[in-house]
């Protein structure tokens, strides 16, 4: 299964990652190398309905549903690129529905 430059550009858009036209050929070749390598898992046959393997405890512990604010050494305003009146400021939304 090979990945086309068009698919790489599409995946980059899904991942919200700017990729220039100039970078696309090399990136496509690298992705094909990686995807071609991991495709060897097909040798193991169809996975069926394999349960995801969980390395940790079998059951998640539940804790009381209490608000326990962490003690922060500095407020969001100190680490945000732009922060005004309690809000993180970003440019206007624009065409969010366009891939």
Partner 1 sequence: MSAAEVARATCARLAVADSRGLNATLAWSDAALLAEAARVDALPPGGALREVPIALKDNIVTTEQPTTCGSRILEGYVSPFNATVVERLRAAGALIACKANLDEFAMGSSTEHSAYGRVRHPLALDRVPGGSSGGSAALVAADVVPAAIGSETGGSVRQPASFCGVVGVKPSYGRVSRYGLVAFGSSLDCVSVLGKTVAEAERVLAVIAGLDPRDATTVDLPPLVPEPAPLSLAGVTIGLPREYFPADLHPGVRAACDLAVARLRDLGARIVEVSLPHSKYAVPTYYIIAPAEAAANLARYDGARYGARATVDGDVRALYRATRGQGFGPEVRRRILVGTYVLSAGYYDAYYGRAQAARSRIADDFRRAFASGVDLLFTPTTPTPAFKAGEKTGDPVAMYLADIFVCPVNLAGLPALSLPLARSEGLPVGGQLIARHFEEARMLALAATLERHLDPAAEARP
Q: Which residues would be at the binding site for partner 1 (CB under 8 A)?
A: 1, 3, 7-8, 11-19, 27, 30-31, 33-35, 37-44, 47-48, 50-57, 60-61, 63, 70-76, 78-82, 88, 90-96
CB of 10 to partner 1, least distance (A): 8
Question: Which of 51/65 has CB closer to partner 1?
Answer: 51
Which whole-number Å values give the CA distances from 35 to 29, 41, 72, 83, in the listed order? 10, 11, 42, 41
The span from the CA of 90 to the CA of 99, in Å, is 19
CB of 12 to partner 1, least distance (A): 6
CB of 5 to partner 1, least distance (A): 12
The span from the CA of 41 to the CA of 34, in Å, is 13
Q: Residue 48 in contact with residue 20, Cβ under 8 Å?
A: no
């Amino acid at each position: 299964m090979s990945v086309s430059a068009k698919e790489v550009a599409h995946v980059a858009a899904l991942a919200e990652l700017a990729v220039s036209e100039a970078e696309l050929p090399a990136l496509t070749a690298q992705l094909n190398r990686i995807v071609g390598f991991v495709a060897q898992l097909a040798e193991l046959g169809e996975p069926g309905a394999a349960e995801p393997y969980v390395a940790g405890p079998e059951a998640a512990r539940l804790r009381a549903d209490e608000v326990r604010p962490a003690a922060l050494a500095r407020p969001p305003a100190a680490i945000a690129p732009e922060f005004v009146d309690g809000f993180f400021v970003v440019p206007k939304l624009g065409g969010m529905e366009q891939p």
